[in-house]
Structure 1
Amino acid sequence: MIAAIPNIIGWLAISFARESSFLYMGRLLEGFGVGIISYTVPVYIAEIAPQNLRGALGSVNQLSVTIGIMLAYLLGLFVPWRILAVLGILPCSILITGLFFIPESPRWLAKMGMTEDFEASLQVLRGFDTDISIEVNEIKRSVASSSRRTTIRFSELKQRRYYFPLTVGIGLLILQQLSGINGVVFYSSTIFESAGITSSDVATLGLGALQVIATGVTTWLADKAGRRALLIISSVGMTVSILIVAVSFFVKGFVSDDSSLYSILDIFSVIGVVAMVVTFSLGMGPIPWVIMSEILPINIKGLAGSVATLANWLTVWLITMTANLLLNWSGGGTFAIYTLVSAFTVAFVSIWVPETKGKTLEEIQRSLR
């Protein structure tokens, strides 16, 4: 609810801006609000969801993000940017109103010692006809064993139960962005134009629609195929896709612009970009947020999750700021760098990332000790 307020003020500042300083202020406020929401939403979903639906519901968060991106592309074709900024206030207003009608996280209430509120919240979430006694006892045991002290010493981070989930959570969220996905999405119109596609804005809208479809498939598969399998499939697919783009750009440097081979390479580069976005949406887009919200211990979840989210958004900023510079330097070189990162992600997931499908949050914590 707090995060929605700077978002509303930020959109108003952008919409009624008379000079660039208002645009900067609006973007800064939007970044502040979105930064809070991007962490608290997946954590809240993980803490309220039944174990057999946690992956699907967690993936719905990213699905909503991709739908928002697609709507921005679509409305941007017809609506002036000032009106588009005003429309951004609508979901923020719905968020504030809607939050009055949903319960607080039962696990957070249990951690705060609000036993009656904790059980009442869990009962509302599970349904009044559901027996919640087993889940209540499991959450109580987990909270009792992890909250003897409200803070931990820095030296305790050497314990596997702390350093391992921190490494996995932060690693996944950094690698998610180092693959260059935001650079590709933000500059997709430029990439399509360089490939000779005249209606680049329409092509970008199509790319957004494919993101929505692929993320929707992930929502369905997350609790069936498992998180780890989807991450491996996604990162392997991204590696191959980006490699196709890199090779296409490199070879184009040795081919004349008017040759048929040059046109074929343009087609391959577009296919590679589209395949990269689709395979990213199948795993590396939604799943890192799901896993991060699942594996962090409850007594460091606030601090550790904030650090992981900060690392993610700093990487977003780095990629966004450098993507255009790198593409101007060398299209092939840029995508070659992204290919290496995606290949490393395959190894990272295979070695480090545990499977969390079908386990309660408390069972996940016990397995990490």
Structure 2
Amino acid sequence: MHYSVFGSILTIGAMIGAVVSGRIADYIGRRGAMAISEIFCILGWLAIAFSKVAWWAELGRLLVGCGMGLLSYVVPIYIAEITPKNLRGGFTTVHQLMICCGVSLTYLIGAFLNWRALALIGTVPCVIQILGLFFIPESPRWLAKIGQEKKCEDALQNLRGKNADISQEKSEIRDYTETLKRLSEASILDLFQRRYAYSLIVGVGLMVLQQFGGVNGIAFYASTIFISAGFSDSIGTIAMVAVQIPMTGLGVILMDKSGRRPLLLVSSTGTCLGCLLVGLSFLLQNLQQWKQVTPILALVGILVFTGSFSLGMGGIPWVIMSEIFPINMKGSAGSLVTLVSWLGSWIVSYAFNFLMDWNSAGTFFMFSCISGVTILFVAKLVPETKGRTLEEIQTSMNQFSEKR
């Protein structure tokens, strides 16, 4: 019980960070929000590293979670707002690739260092990012939104290069900002108007399906799954990392070539198959059948799930979330979508142990069914946003909502 609570404290902190993320990013800008999130992370890692009693470590995890909740909203939004339309998907997915590399590196370092040293090392990237914020421009779209037109133009020129022609992009941003001035700043309740229904269904739906597909249960308790299935946990974990990084990299390359929808469909089909294989492994184990095959089946299933998730479902919901909401709604909508994601993560990471005790095979068959629902959801509702400006995406989303 305490293991489940401690494991899920991080996600509780992330939910708190998610609730305030949109407002902070709207009031003090994208760079300011990133700086605050890193301060939370640094304080959290230091509290863990120097903890003398358990509650200090728990407070540290809560603070790191708050920082992560803030970052998980503001980084995709910032990247989507600064990148050209033909590179936006790839750049946003590079963020997921970096997370994937960071997690893998931590697994590796953690094999040789104790947890206090690991917590101290956790402060290093946070300090580097705070220093790096002095060298990057603010989001031109946010600057336009708050009426800083000259700074918006300077930031855009800085991002595109000294000799680049920014006139068309500048005029698109200006026209869209003029339209927004006629709209009031939205609250969470305003999100539930009919004109935003389609964006909200897509954004929230993808996050719910991403989390309830079981990714955090599998990631947090991979060792336990391998041991339960009768396979070596160390070999299994190394194999997971070996699959995860190249598949995330492949997703980055394909993002702006094949588009979001085809990658999501392939990814969710793979996660459905992966969970089906793991569930089958546990079912055969319970029936005392094919005992030599069941550990291999579990490993193949976990690797298929991990590789498929890394290809699309890991990063693309965050890419789409950063693209589909109008800028006056991004604060409220982003907070809500990020909160839903972390709430789902908390529920799955907290409940996973209990589900496995209840019925291991049934747990994975349930995750497989949710991935099956994801395939239908993507096929029917998720729009293709590849190669379109944020302003063009808004126009098409509004037209779809009006038709409904």
User: Partner amino acid for 2:279?
Assistant: A
Alignment of 1:159 with 2:188, yes or no, is no
Alignment of 1:126 with 2:160, yes or no, is yes
Aligned to 1:267: 296
**3-state SS of paired residue (2:338):** helix
Distance 2:141 2:221 in 1: 41
Residue 196 (structure 1) shift: 2.5
Of 9, 19, 28, which aligns to 2:53? 19
Distance 2:73 2:242 in 1: 24
Structure 1 gap segments, 5+ residues each: none
Residue 330 (structure 1) shift: 1.2
Q: Is the 8 A contact 1:77 1:201 kept in 2?
A: no
Aligned to 1:4: 38
Alignment of 1:333 with 2:362, yes or no, is yes
Distance 1:149 1:276 in 2: 43
Distance 1:77 1:133 in 2: 52
Alignment of 1:242 with 2:275, yes or no, is yes
TM-score if structure 1 supplies the norm length? Answer: 0.96
Distance 2:183 2:224 in 1: 53
**3-state SS of paired residue (2:293):** helix
Distance 2:292 2:115 in 1: 34
Residue 271 (structure 1) shift: 0.4
Higher percent of residues as helix = 2
Residue 234 (structure 1) shift: 0.5
User: Partner amino acid for 1:253?
Assistant: N
Q: Is the 8 A contact 2:325 2:333 kept in 1?
A: yes
Q: Is the 8 A contact 2:264 2:313 kept in 1?
A: yes
Residue 120 (structure 1) shift: 0.4
Aligned to 1:347: 376
Residue 204 (structure 1) shift: 1.0
Residue 195 (structure 1) shift: 2.6
CA shift digits 1:48-82 (9 cap, x unpaired): 01011001001001101111110111011111111
Aligned to 1:313: 342
Distance 1:11 1:156 in 2: 35
Distance 1:362 1:252 in 2: 53
Distance 1:191 1:40 in 2: 33
Residue 152 (structure 1) shift: 4.1
Distance 1:152 1:11 in 2: 35
Residue 156 (structure 1) shift: 7.2
Q: Which moved more, 1:162-171 or 1:113-122?
A: 162-171
Aligned to 1:68: 102
In the TM superposition, 1:1-369 aligns within 5 A as 1-152=35-186, 154=189, 157-160=192-195, 162-198=196-232, 200-255=233-288, 261-369=290-398
**3-state SS of paired residue (2:393):** helix
CA shift digits 1:191-232 (9 cap, x unpaired): 11123233x234313312321111000000000010011001
User: Partner amino acid for 1:271?
Assistant: V
Identity rate, percent: 47
CA shift digits 1:245-275 (9 cap, x unpaired): 112211211116xxxx112012111100110
User: Partner amino acid for 2:139?
Assistant: S
User: Partner amino acid for 2:129?
Assistant: L
Q: Could you say if the C-alpha distance between residues 158 and 308 of structure 1 is closer, same or farther in structure 2, counting changes exceeding 3 Å?
A: same
Residue 151 (structure 1) shift: 2.3
User: Partner amino acid for 1:215?
Assistant: T
User: Partner amino acid for 1:231?
Assistant: L
User: Partner amino acid for 2:268?
Assistant: S
User: Partner amino acid for 1:192?
Assistant: F
CA shift digits 1:293-339 (9 cap, x unpaired): 00111111011001100000011000000111111221101101101
Distance 1:205 1:90 in 2: 24
User: Partner amino acid for 2:249?
Assistant: G
Distance 2:287 2:372 in 1: 26
Q: Which moved more, 1:146-155 or 1:296-305?
A: 146-155
Distance 2:190 2:281 in 1: 49
Residue 36 (structure 1) shift: 0.2
User: Partner amino acid for 2:202?
Assistant: V
Distance 1:331 1:125 in 2: 50
Q: Is the 8 A contact 2:186 2:332 kept in 1?
A: no
Distance 1:113 1:202 in 2: 55
**3-state SS of paired residue (2:351):** helix
Distance 2:230 2:287 in 1: 17
Distance 1:127 1:209 in 2: 37
Structure 2 gap segments, 5+ residues each: 1-34, 399-404
Residue 170 (structure 1) shift: 1.1
Q: Which moved more, 1:237-246 or 1:357-366?
A: 237-246
